[in-house]
Structure 1
Amino acid sequence: MIWVIRLVLLVLIIFIIYRILVFLFHPRRKLELAREQQKFYFYDDADNVRKNFLLTHKGVIFEGEKYLGATKDTFDVVTISIGPQHVMSLKGFVREDFQEIEQKIHEHYPKAIIDWKSPVKEFLYSAK
């Protein structure tokens, strides 16, 4: 009887340690941590084109929608529509910040054309 209790306790301890490790290394948690520290972090499931990606830059979270299309050689992500989750958090952003975000996106999706959502689109194209 005592060995059953020990076995159950051992399994329970292993399960708790596993859940703690899963929590600590989950990419969504890393995204929130990067947002709080105002660092850049790119969270994406590159294998799943239907799933949107999230990125954070200077404490602002952006969501990008990927669209699959044909290129010269292959089917790949050809268009990305991106915008901030909360427009009010863009205070203090300059054009260089958006250009830096575009460069980081092009590192992951080099053939994609980036289409910014409103109001970023108006801001970027107002003084060109």
Structure 2
Amino acid sequence: MIVLIRGFILILLIYLAYNIIKYITHPKRRFEYARRRHQLYLLDEKDQIQKNFLLTYKGMVFEGEKFTNPSSRPQVVSIFIWPHQESTIIPSHEVKILEQHILQQYPNAHIDWKNVQAAPK
């Protein structure tokens, strides 16, 4: 009987440790942490081209839609980005920072912005 109880407790501890690690490393949680800390973070599933990505920078949240080339090899050729808040104003040098970060993931993509007003430096 004692062996059975110990086995059950061991299985319960393993299950709890697995769920805690899974919660801590979840990408959506890391995205929200970066948004609250006003950091740059890109939440993207690079292997799934048809899914949109989320980008946070200085507490602002942007969503990007990826478009592929209809050739034999799927490749992202165009990205449209828009803010979650209407008519966000960000300095033009920060727009370039965001574009450089996105181009690290998708080097052949052309980036277009929707509903973003670039303020001068």
Q: TM-score, normalised by structure 2?
A: 0.88
CA shift for structure 1 position 74 = 4.3
Uncovered stretches (5+) of structure 2, i.e. residues with no partner: none
Look up the equivalent residue of 1:79 and give its one-letter code: S
Do the aligned residues in 2 keep the contact of 1:68 with 1:75 (CA within 8 Å)?
yes
Uncovered stretches (5+) of structure 1, i.e. residues with no partner: none
2: CA distance, partners of 1:75 / 1:36 = 34
Aligned partner (choices 90, 105, 108) of residue 108 of structure 1: 105
Higher RCO (C-alpha 8 Å, min separation 6): 2
Do the aligned residues in 2 keep the contact of 1:53 with 1:65 (CA within 8 Å)?
yes
Residues 1-128 of structure 1 aligned to structure 2 (within 5 Å): 1-70=1-70, 74-87=73-86, 90=88, 93-118=90-115, 120=116, 123-124=117-118
Do the aligned residues in 2 keep the contact of 1:70 with 1:78 (CA within 8 Å)?
no
Deviating beyond 4 angstroms after TM superposition, the runs of 4 or more aligned structure 1 residues are: none
Tell me the secondary structure at the aligned position of residue 38 of structure 2: coil
Give the superposed CA RMSD: 2.1
Give a deviation string over 1:27-75, Cα, whole Å, max 9, x none: 111111111110111111110001111111111111111111157x943
Figure out how many residues of one structure are paired with residues of the other and give that number: 120
Look up the equivalent residue of 1:40 and give its one-letter code: L
2: CA distance, partners of 1:24 / 1:36 = 16
Give a deviation string over 1:74-98, Cα, whole Å, max 9, x none: 431011111111237x35x211111
Tell me the secondary structure at the aligned position of residue 75 of structure 1: coil
% identity of equivalent residues: 39
- Name the one with the larger helix percent: 1
